Amino acid sequence: MKFDAERKGTGTKEWAEVTENICRGCANNCLYCYAAHNANRFKQRDRADWSHEVLTKRANITTYPARGGVVMFPSSHDITPFNMEAYISVALVILRKGNQLLVVSKPRIRCVEAMLDDFAPFREQILFRFTIGSMNDATCAFWEPGAPDPQERVACLEQAFDKGFKTSVSIEPMLAGVEQTLDVCDYVHEMVTDTIWIGKMNKARLRVATEHSAAVANIERLQRDEEILRLYNELKSGPKIRWKDSIKEVVARNS
């Protein structure tokens, strides 16, 4: 199974057959986070407490089956200094069974350096997909207040690339409009071995607190159909570009 094979389904199913997580909560504290929204919606965790990280029983697994597809780990939290040792331990259990591992992260340099060392024997089984929604510091700091700045994320991408790992970038969600998205593509292109995925900020009006309604309105303006089509036409011939379902839906209804 290839990392970027054509898959049916949406969300994580566009990227992997299996998802794994070992932590509840996420230090990134992204305003648009689907996991934080769902935890609050189903009364599992108050939204204001989402940045508090707690390891689950999955952090202690010592065996893992050989899967038939790609394992995306993590999918609902990030890799942080709090869970880094447990993350690497579980990832190695998954890799030793011959599984393909998709590592999705807003990466921290300390965590990535540790992973690059420990994962070196399994280099061919791994794809690092780092999320960079904008290269603008202020934009990232607003939407992702606990996450690393874009320069740190690019430094992580460069290190993974230099160490011979397969690399990918996710611009999902786009944190602004067409211009900032194009900036990310231009900035990371040479350090990406595989793909650059682009997707809108989904359900922002539902997931983002009402106190940020002006920012949500601005995102909706920047990511309205006309702008998404402009972006699509600008990048559709790029061999590394892949479109998330939110972009495909816009193209389909305007075709």
pLDDT of residue 147: 98
Q: What is the pLDDT of residues 111-161, one digit of tens each?
A: 999 999 999 999 999 999 999 999 999 999 999 999 999 999 999 999 999
Q: What is the mean pLDDT of the chain?
A: 96
Segment 17-37 shows an average pLDDT of 95
Q: What is the pLDDT of residues 39-82, one digit of tens each?
A: 888 778 888 899 999 999 999 999 999 998 999 999 999 999 99
Q: What is the pLDDT of residues 177-206, one digit of tens each?
A: 999 999 999 999 999 999 999 999 999 999
pLDDT of residue 77: 97
b/e code 201-229 from CB counts within 10 Å (16+ = b)? bbebeebbeeebeebbeebeebbeeebbb
CB 172 within 8 A of CB 30: no
Do strands 23-24 and 54-55 pair parallel, antiparallel, or not at all (unpaired)?
antiparallel
How far apart are the C-alpha atoms of 222 and 244, rounded to whole Å?
17
pLDDT of residue 218: 98
Q: What is the pLDDT of residues 73-122, one digit of tens each?
A: 999 999 999 999 999 999 999 999 999 999 999 999 999 999 999 999 99
Amino acid residing at 31: L
Map out the domains of the chain with their CATH numbers.
11-253 (3.20.20)
Q: Between 41 and 174, where is the model more confident?
A: 174
Q: Which of 248, 149, 199, 253 is nearest to 34 (CA)?
A: 199
Amino acid residing at 251: V
pLDDT of residue 94: 98
Tell me phi and psi for residue 37, to 5 degrees. -60, -45
Do strands 166-171 and 126-131 pair parallel, antiparallel, or not at all (unpaired)?
parallel
Q: Is the pLDDT of residue 1 over 70?
A: no
